[in-house]
Amino acid sequence: MKSILILFLFFTGIVNAQERADVESIARMERDAHKNLFNTTARGSAATDNFDVKYYRCEWTVDPAVRYINGKVTVYFKPTTTLTTITLDLQSPLVADSVKRNGNMLTFSQPNNTLVITFPVNINTNVLDSVNIWYKGVPANTGFGSFIQDVHAGTPVLWTLSESYGSRDWWPCKNGINDKADSVDVIITAPAIYKAASNGMLQSETAVAGSMVRTHWKHRYPIASYLVCMAVTNYSVFNNSIQLGSVNLPMVTYCYPENLALFQNNTSKVLESMQLFHNNFGPYPFMNEKYGHVQFGWGGGMEHQTSTFIVTPDESLMAHELGHQWFGDKITCNSWEDIWLNEGFATYLAAFNMETKYPATALANRKGIINNITSQVGGSVKVMDTTSLNQIFDGRLSYNKGSYLLFMLRFILGDDVFLKALRRYQLDPALAYGNASTVDLKRNLELESGKNLAYFFAQWYTGQGYPSYQVKWNVLDNNCVNIKLSQTTSHPSVSFFKLPVALKFKNATQEKTVVLDNNVNGETYIRSLGFIADTVFVDPEAWLVTRNNSSEKTAAINDGSCTPPPPPPPPIPTNSGEGIVSIFPNPITNPFTVNIHDFKDEKAVVQVYNKLGQKIYSKTITLTYGAALVKIQSANWARGTFIIEVTAAGKTVRKQVMR
């Protein structure tokens, strides 16, 4: 999110000491902004889990010159169990006027920053229902909160910024990250001298009584409540577009009139970034709608879905927030413990953007990030305390080190496999437009690469610190070198980092890089160079998080000849053998997908039974590393329930679906 500016300073070249001080102040500012939201409750959401939100219709009346909101929010939901009450999040001092269901008044109360709604009858499981909530008030002014009233060039402006738990400060909702609404409509009524921006596609701007205008935005993709947004001021609006395959995607910018030329000159850079990300990480996730920028006054950016808020059209800032549309918006971390799946990915995509466009600066940029990560000896990417703002929004760990897990995985797997694995993760039907954990990412990386990466995530996601390499080497006959590679670790949580390590040997006229699979400390190797080297550099392209490396040319390491040892056998892909089956979507459509993974066999039998127990489908499929995606046509099936049965290696998993 906002601490993209932490990375931006690295991407503009080698960072001087004064700039690093600025980076730390930005990091502190972000933590302070979120602290105001977190301090109101340790959990962040008190909404009950007995219902699943399907849709929000948000109707807000605001005036940027007045700190006040008058709203009506309609919540469509399906109970996950038979219920008589539901609880939404709504922060005092906002007050609900009334709550209705099917036009009938409901009883409600507002204890402890919640809205508890009571129904006069049981609401049955899995039946779509809805409530209308009328409310109003002055959103709490935390100084750096979620509902901001400010001025630009003497003109009032209002914007929202709800990550991570700020949505409830200004509208009743489920305030967590896990229950995404399938879609949302945002209808903003404001003085006619202003324009209002939000998620999705602009449907209409309609004049209403009292010199007001009603602006209707429609968004038809799943969305977390913290990504719903609103901004109102005297915006200048201009349009652009980009051709992505057969789709001409609108790019819409709302900026302050005094900055119109700046935004017109600079936002075009994001068109190249959009094409780059679309080609490498999968289709732009909200292809049926738009992408755009909205200027606001906070010193950074916020990845509101389809409608990024930015303070200024800086290229790295725009690339970071654009990257969030794939990693953070389409697939959102399942817990703040895994915030690196949002922020580490967006940081990596911003670096990938700069590397592709400005390759001459790539090495210096990577070294700058490594220097930041290794400026302290410890620190885990996994957030151990999700009530600690210092841990969640840690620029060094969640952002920079998180991004470097991806750099290292790219080095380990190779560019082609790495990109295919990330596209697989993006297209995983169990995760797309939902939530993911680090385990989900690991599973997709392993399925695509055929490698067991448990060691990597134990070392780099859960573990702390980094290795420092010591290289001892000597020249053998026939232009070969004998190498001993040792390491010390900066933190006791990891005793040894298993990594491929690149060494560049050179002399005045020639050079050669060899990559050593370092599996044990003090491992020795013999490699042919084709020339007599006089110097060696460790990790010359800065693909690894490492620091304080050293090399020493010695008289001898051990006896050896220029006959390289045989290469190790290729790793055998492994999986847990747990046998996991998921169906997408459920209720099923035509076709639907059966996602099979973690079976210990090369074949599986997929069968479908109707409610009478009759077999209506059977197919034997080949599993790749224990996994497969099976598409099944269901156009001719009757309505009702079905059993999907998958059998492999003597293990049978059954799932019930509806049509």
Question: Looking at the domain that runs over 4-38+335-462, which CATH code has it been given?
Answer: 1.10.390.10
**Closest to 405 (Cα-Cα) out of 359, 431, 442, 434:** 442
pLDDT at 427: 96
Question: What residues are paired with 202 via a beta bridge?
Answer: 217
Q: What is the 3-state secondary structure (H, E, C) of 452-486?
A: CCHHHHHHHHHCCCCEEEEEEEEECHHHEEEEEEE
At the topology level of CATH, where does 53-234 sit? Immunoglobulin-like (2.60.40)
Q: Topology of 580-658 in CATH?
A: Immunoglobulin-like (2.60.40)
Spell out, as residue ranges, where the chain has pLDDT lower than 70: 1-43, 142-145, 556-578, 625
DSSP strands (E only) in 64-102: 66-79, 83-89, 95-101
Residue ranges of the domains in the chain? 4-38+335-462, 53-234, 467-553, 580-658
How many CA atoms does the CB half-sphere of 586 hold within 13 Å?
A: 18
What is the CATH class of 467-553?
A: mainly beta
Q: Which contacts of 380-384 are long-range, i.e. CB under 8 A and separated by 24 or more positions?
A: 380/461, 380/462, 380/463, 380/464, 380/493, 381/340, 381/344, 381/405, 381/460, 381/461, 382/337, 382/338, 382/340, 382/438, 382/461, 382/462, 383/336, 383/337, 383/338, 383/339, 384/337
Q: What per-residue confidence (pLDDT) applies to 251? A: 98
Q: Give the angle 83-86-90 at the CA atoms, nearest 5°.
A: 180
- Asked if domains 53-234 and 580-658 share a fold, the reply is yes
| Per-residue confidence (pLDDT) for residue 14, from 0 to 100 | 30
